[in-house]
Amino acid sequence: MATIPTLGAERTPGHTVSRAATRELLGRATYDLLVIGGGILGTATAWTAAQAGLKVAMVDAGDFAGATSSASSKLVHGGLRYLQTGAVKLVAENHKERRALATDVAPHLVNPLTFFVPVYKGGPHSAPKLGAGVFLYSALSAFRDGMGRVSTAAHAAQQVPALRTENLRSVAVYGDHQMNDARMAVMTVRAAVEAGAVVLNHAEVTGLRFTRGRVTGAELKDRLDGSEFGVDARLVLNATGPWVDHLRKLEDAGSAPSIRLSKGAHVVVKRRSPWRAALTIPIDKYRVSFAIPWEDHVLLGTTDEEYTGDPLDVRATEADVDQILSEAGHAIRDEHLRREDITYSFAGLRVLPGGPGDTAAAKRETVVTEGRGGMLSVAGGKWTTYRHIGRVVLEKLKHAPGVGLAEDVSPIPATVPLPGIGAPNAVAHRLLIDREPGSRMDPLIARHLASHYGTLSFDLARLIAEDPALGEPVHPDGPDVWAQVAYAADSEWAYTVDDVLRRRTTMTVRGLDTPEVRERVAAFLAGRGKA
C-alpha cells in the first residue's frame, strides 16, 4: 500500500466546527428543540425543524445512523408485500415518497433497480397472482418505473446468472430503488446544519434537565474526551430508537414499556458474476428475502424475529447467517453462496409498537407519545418515508402543550434537495475531464465518488489536486480513496475508525477494513486532530 498521505494546512470549504466549539454553542443558548438521537427519525426531524426556522440541536450517543439506521436493507421502496395485507393506501404513499427522493431530493444517492420475483414449481405463489400484484404495485406509482409484468425464466437467467433455474416457471418483474443508508444519513445531517442546526455525535445523555416538572434539556458527556456539558431547550424529542424506553425512564422512572424490538440481520457476499437486477425471493405465503446487487457485492436478507437483549449487543449470529444463506438458496445457486465469499454481516433492530403477536406481522408505523415531563418520544420509521415522518413529527411538536412553538414555525417548501444533488453520470464525466494536465482519475473511482457524494465530489477532487496522494485507494481492492477519509474527518463528523470505514466509506462492507487499514486510518485521523 501507499504511504499515508501528507496533511495540508488548508481544510476543505465548509469543514465541521471543532467539538469544543460545538459544546460551547450547545451550552450557551436555549434551543427551541433538542433532538436526542441521530438516526432516521432524529435527522429527519432536525432537518425539517431547522428548515421551519426553529433553533435546533441534535446529539447522539454514538455516530449518526450508527446503529439500526445504517443496518437496513438499503431499499427505498413502496413495500410490495404490504399489498398482501390490503394496505393499498400505504403502498401508494410510500411510492410518492420514493419518487420524491429519487427525482427531487436525492437522485445522486437513490438509484433505480429492477426486481425479479422467481416463480418455481410448487412455490408459495402462482405466476398469475404475482403478475397481478406487481401490476397493481406499479400502477400505484403511476407506472413511473415501468409496468409490472411477468417475464420468462430465460430472460431472468440472462440478467442474473446466479439464478437457480431448476423448476423455474417464470418471473414477476417490478421496479424500486436502493441507496446507501449511511451516506443518506450524513447528507441529511449536513442539510440540517446548513439549515441552522447544531449537531454533535458521540455525546451521551446522562440525565435530563427539569424546570417545574417539565423536561427542559439534558446533561451530556462527550464520549471522546469525557467532557461534561448541558443543553437547555424549550422542547426535547426522544428519537433514540431501540433506547427510547431507556430515556423515557429518565423522565419518569415508572413509565411502562412502549415498544418491542425485532432483529433484522443481513449478509454481504462477493459477487461472482454480474447482477443486472435484484431478487425478491418468496419464502412462504407472507415472508420474502432479498438478494440485492450493492456496492459491487450482493446483499442478502433479512430476518425478522423478536429481540429482548441489550441493543448494544445486537449482531448477526451464526444461526442468522445460516438462515439467510438457506433462504437465499431457494433462488440462488450454491456456488454463489459460499461462506468464504462473505465479506460482512450485520444486524439492526426494528422498533415496533408494543403489544402481543408475531413481530413479522406487527405494523410498521411511527408512534409519538408525550411523557409526564412533556418530553415527546418518537419511535418506528424507515428510510423511504423519513422525510414525511419528519414533517408529521414537526406537526406534533408545534402543538405540544405549554411550549408555544406553533407561532415560531414557518412553512417549508414541499421539496428541498439534499446537498450534492446532481446526476451521477454527469458528475463522474466532469471528474474525468476537469483535471489538471497530466493527472488522471480512475473511472471506477470517479463513478464511486459521484454516486456517494454527488456534486460534493468536486470538493474531494480539489483535495486530490492539492495532494495527489489523497487520490490513492485506501485498499487496492476497493474504490474508496484517502480523500474520502480526509473529507469525512473535516466535513462529515467522523472521529473514529468505524465512523470512517463503516459509515463514511464502503470499506467495511467490502471486507477491506483489515488491521493494517484500521491502523493507518487511525494514524490519519490522529494527524487530523480527530483521534
Looking at residue 362, its pLDDT comes to: 52
Residues 200, 190: Cα–Cα separation, whole Å: 12
* pLDDT at 7 exceeding the cut of 50: no
Q: What is the CATH number of the domain that holds 288?
A: 3.30.9.10
| Pair (219, 268) in one structural domain | no
Instruction: Report angle CA 498, 73, 116 to the nearest 5 degrees.
Output: 145
Q: What is the CATH number of the domain that holds 388?
A: 3.50.50.60
Do the beta carbons of residue 68 and residue 386 sit within 8 Å?
Answer: no
| Pair (275, 327) in one structural domain | yes
Is residue 75 one of the residues assigned to a domain?
no
Looking at residue 12, its pLDDT comes to: 39
Closest listed residue to residue 46, CA positions, set 391, 375, 362: 391
Residues 329, 325: Cα–Cα separation, whole Å: 6
| Pair (31, 157) in one structural domain | no
- Neighbour tally for 315: CB within 10 Å: 12
SS3 (DSSP) at 342: strand
Alpha helices in 308-380 (DSSP H): 318-328
Beta strands in 358-434 (DSSP E): 367-370, 376-379
SS3 (DSSP) at 446: helix
List beta partners, residue 231.
218
Looking at residue 358, its pLDDT comes to: 58
Looking at residue 15, its pLDDT comes to: 64
* pLDDT at 150 exceeding the cut of 70: yes
Residues 66, 45: Cα–Cα separation, whole Å: 17
Is residue 446 one of the residues assigned to a domain?
yes
Where residue 11 falls among pLDDT bands split at 50, 70, 90?
very low
DSSP classification of residue 87: -
Closest listed residue to residue 506, CA positions, set 528, 468, 475: 475
Is residue 247 one of the residues assigned to a domain?
yes
Q: For residues 297-302, give the mean pLDDT.
A: 97
Q: What are the C-alpha distances in Å from 466 to residues 8, 12, 364, 454?
A: 8, 11, 48, 20
Is residue 438 one of the residues assigned to a domain?
yes
- Least confident window among 74-78, 81-85, 500-504: 81-85
Do the beta carbons of residue 485 and residue 474 sit within 8 Å?
Answer: yes
The pTM for the full model equals 0.94
- Neighbour tally for 189: CB within 10 Å: 26
* pLDDT at 177 exceeding the cut of 60: yes
Looking at residue 10, its pLDDT comes to: 35
| Pair (53, 107) in one structural domain | no
| Pair (240, 300) in one structural domain | no
| Pair (198, 239) in one structural domain | yes
* pLDDT at 351 exceeding the cut of 70: yes
| Pair (457, 316) in one structural domain | no
What is the distance between the terminal CA atoms of the chain, rounded to a whole angstrom?
22
What is the sign of the dihedral through the CA atoms of 85, 86, 89 and 93?
positive
119 contact partners, CB below 8 Å, separation of at least 6:
125, 126, 127, 130, 150, 168, 169, 170, 171, 172
Range of the domain at 369: 25-68+183-258+361-399
Looking at residue 90, its pLDDT comes to: 87
Looking at residue 9, its pLDDT comes to: 32
Residues 391, 41: Cα–Cα separation, whole Å: 10
| Pair (308, 282) in one structural domain | yes
| Pair (241, 313) in one structural domain | no
List beta partners, residue 290.
280, 301
* 339, three cell numbers: 461462506
Helix (H) or strand (E) holding 396: helix 386-398
Q: Please count the structural domains in the chain.
A: 3
Residues 140, 137: Cα–Cα separation, whole Å: 5
Do the beta carbons of residue 297 and residue 270 sit within 8 Å?
Answer: yes
Residues 381, 372: Cα–Cα separation, whole Å: 24
Per residue in 251-290, pLDDT (tens digit) is: 999 999 999 999 999 999 999 999 999 999 999 888 899 9
Looking at residue 142, its pLDDT comes to: 80
* 464, three cell numbers: 486530490
Q: For residues 341-349, give the mean pLDDT.
A: 97
Where residue 293 falls among pLDDT bands split at 50, 70, 90?
very high
Is residue 9 one of the residues assigned to a domain?
no
Closest listed residue to residue 85, CA positions, set 361, 475, 396: 361
* pLDDT at 38 exceeding the cut of 60: yes
SS3 (DSSP) at 183: helix
**Can the peptide bond before residue 302 be classed as cis, meaning omega within 30 degrees of 0?**
yes
Closest listed residue to residue 181, CA positions, set 305, 62, 298, 72: 72
Is residue 168 one of the residues assigned to a domain?
yes
Q: For residues 176-192, give the mean pLDDT.
A: 97
Looking at residue 315, its pLDDT comes to: 97
| Pair (330, 377) in one structural domain | no
Is residue 81 one of the residues assigned to a domain?
no
Is residue 412 one of the residues assigned to a domain?
no
| Pair (323, 372) in one structural domain | no
147 compared with 522, residue with greater pLDDT: 522
- Name the average pLDDT for the chain: 92
Looking at residue 432, its pLDDT comes to: 94
Helix (H) or strand (E) holding 40: helix 40-51
Per residue in 399-449, pLDDT (tens digit) is: 998 898 999 999 999 999 999 999 999 999 999 998 777 678 999 999 999
Looking at residue 2, its pLDDT comes to: 47
Closest listed residue to residue 480, CA positions, set 462, 504, 514: 504
Looking at residue 346, its pLDDT comes to: 97
| Pair (161, 217) in one structural domain | no
